[in-house]
Amino acid sequence: MADLFSPLTPHKQEIAPGLTLFKAWVNGGEFIHTIENILNISPLRHMMTPMGYASKVAMTNCGPFGWASNIQGYQYLPTDPLSGAPWPDLPELFSKLAQQVAAEVGLDNFQPDACLINKYEIGVGMGKHQDRDELNFHWPIVSLSLGLSAVFQVSGNQRNGKNFNILLEDGDVLVIHGPARQFFHGIRPIKADPMQPNLHHRYNLTFRKAH
Ligand code: MD3
Ligand code: FE
C-alpha cells in the first residue's frame, strides 16, 4: 500500500504549455559525485551582478560554454574567468538526461553546450528574471533539482503577472520550452527541512544551448 514513506513513482506532469515537470525522475545521489568532480576544477563562486553586488547563489559551469556575470553584464564564456582554462567537460550523465527529457516533450536532438550549476544555502533565493542570453529560444532549458526542496515561482510573460508556485524536490526535472521559454521566474528563499536535518543546501543544474 502506498503511504507517506513510499518513494514517489516517477511521472510526467504538464503544468502549462511549454512547462513540463518530471517528478522524482532521477536518483539525485547519483549526480552528487559527478558534481563534486566539476567543483574541484571550477569551484563555486559568487559572481558580481551588473547592479554591483555579489550574487547570493553560488555558481559554476561545465560544458563548452559557461554562463558568467560581472559588473559589465552577462555572457556565455568558453573559459572559466577564475583559471582561464576551459570549463570542465559536460558529463555524459548530464547530456543524456537532458537529451532524453527533451525528447519526452517532442524536442529531438537537444545537445546542450552549457550547464550552469547553482548552489543555494538555506535562506538564499533567486529574484525574478528571464533567461535570454541564449542564441536560439527554440531550444529548451532543462533543469535538475537536487537536495533541499525549493518553491519555484513563474509569472508568465510579465514580471508582475500572477505568480504560479511549483515545488521542486530532489530528483525533479523541469523542461521549459516553446511559449514558456521566456517566462519570468524566480526561486523563493530555501528553507531547512526538519525531516532531513542533514541537508543544508540545494543544487540546481540547468542544461542549455548557448550557441
Ligand atoms: C522557467 N534557476 O539558473 S531552474 C537560472 O532553480 C534559474 O536555480 C532556477 O532560473 C534554479 O536561470 C530555476 C528552472 C527554470 C529555468 C529557466 C526557466 C525555469 C524556467 C526559464 C523560463 C521559465
Ligand atoms: Fe532562470
Whole-angstrom distance, CA of residue 201 vs CA of residue 147: 6
Q: Band of the pLDDT at 7, cuts 50, 70, 90? A: confident
| Tally of domains within the chain | 1
Q: Range of 148's domain?
A: 3-208
pTM across the whole model: 0.97
CATH code for the domain in which residue 120 is found: 2.60.120.590
- List residues bridging with 175 in a β-sheet: 20, 142
Contact 170, 147 (CB under 8 A): yes
E strand intervals along the chain: 11-16, 19-23, 58-62, 66-70, 73-77, 114-121, 126-129, 141-147, 150-154, 164-168, 173-176, 185-187, 201-208
**Number of CB atoms found within 10 A of residue 28's CB:** 17
Nine cell digits for residue 154: 513563474
Whole-angstrom distance, CA of residue 55 vs CA of residue 35: 20
Residue 1 in this model has a pLDDT that exceeds 80: no
Ligand 1 pocket, CB under 6 A: 116, 118, 126, 131, 141, 143, 150, 152, 154, 174, 176, 180, 183, 185, 187, 204, 206
Ligand nearest to the CA of 69: 1
- Mind listing the pLDDT tens digit for each residue in 153-180? 999 999 999 999 999 999 999 999 999 9
E strand intervals along 7-113: 11-16, 19-23, 58-62, 66-70, 73-77
**Residue nearest atom 11 of ligand 1, based on CA coordinates:** 204
